[in-house]
Chain A
Amino acid sequence: GPKVLQIPSHQIIDMGQMVTLNCDPVSNHLYFYWYKQILGQQMEFLVNFYNGKVMEKSKLFKDQFSVERPDGSYFTLKIQPTALEDSAVYFCASSFSNSDYTFGSGTRLLVI
């Protein structure tokens, strides 16, 4: 079926540096999401995005986080500056309606 692609699959970055996680959603999907999963734990909602705007964000979505989807290209999550506790797997998802997500394969971020 249609896939959500995430680039890169792995990223190691020094604490304090900026990182951008890229997501190429399913082409006709309208809703976009980022989730954070620490190893062995559940996925936690970060933010969702629709019609060019953030609809809702959780308390995990710190001021250092930002999302955008310029001109219908990649849906990006930027963290600036990164902190050690940002190490996790970040999953992007998209959906046509606000249910039945398709998840990407995740970006494994390690902040050192």
Chain B
Amino acid sequence: QQQVRQSPQSLTVWEGETAILNCSYEDSTFDYFPWYHQFPGESPALLIAIRPVSNKKEDGRFTIFFNKREKKFSLHIADSQPGDSATYFCAASGPGNTGKLIFGLGTTLQVQP
């Protein structure tokens, strides 16, 4: 059973549009929700993260919206740039504070100039 579900699998937007990537999770004890991006052949890099005490977190063009009741969170990339083209993974930390991250399957984002 996939504990963290991510959609869409792939997404194409035009430069300047807002890209919206979605995730949902099963375990209500999860308490840390990061988004990573990964360029081909490179390691994943932390983009932005949120904890359930907040329902929104912004960092420049990147915003996480968090809905605890529905167990969903999304990443909005405003003013998308071709350099944002990458695979984006959402994740959630498992319960028990071990730091284990459970990743979604990823969204491949293509930003067309």
**A residues lining the B interface (CB < 8 Å):** 4, 31, 33, 35, 41-45, 48, 55-56, 58, 91, 95, 97-106
Contact pick for B99, options A42, A43, A95, A106, CB 8 Å? A95
Q: Is the CB of A100 within 8 A of B49?
A: yes
Query: How many residues in B have their beta carbons less than 8 Å from beta carbons of A?
Result: 23
If the complex has contacts A91-B43, A99-B32, A100-B46, are A43 and B100 also in contact, measured as CB distance less than 8 A? Answer: no
**Secondary structure dominating the interface of A:** strand
**B residues lining the A interface (CB < 8 Å):** 32, 34, 36, 42-46, 49, 89, 93-94, 96-106
If the complex has contacts A43-B89, A98-B93, A99-B34, are A55 and B98 also in contact, measured as CB distance less than 8 A? Answer: yes
Residue of B nearest to A32 (CB): B99
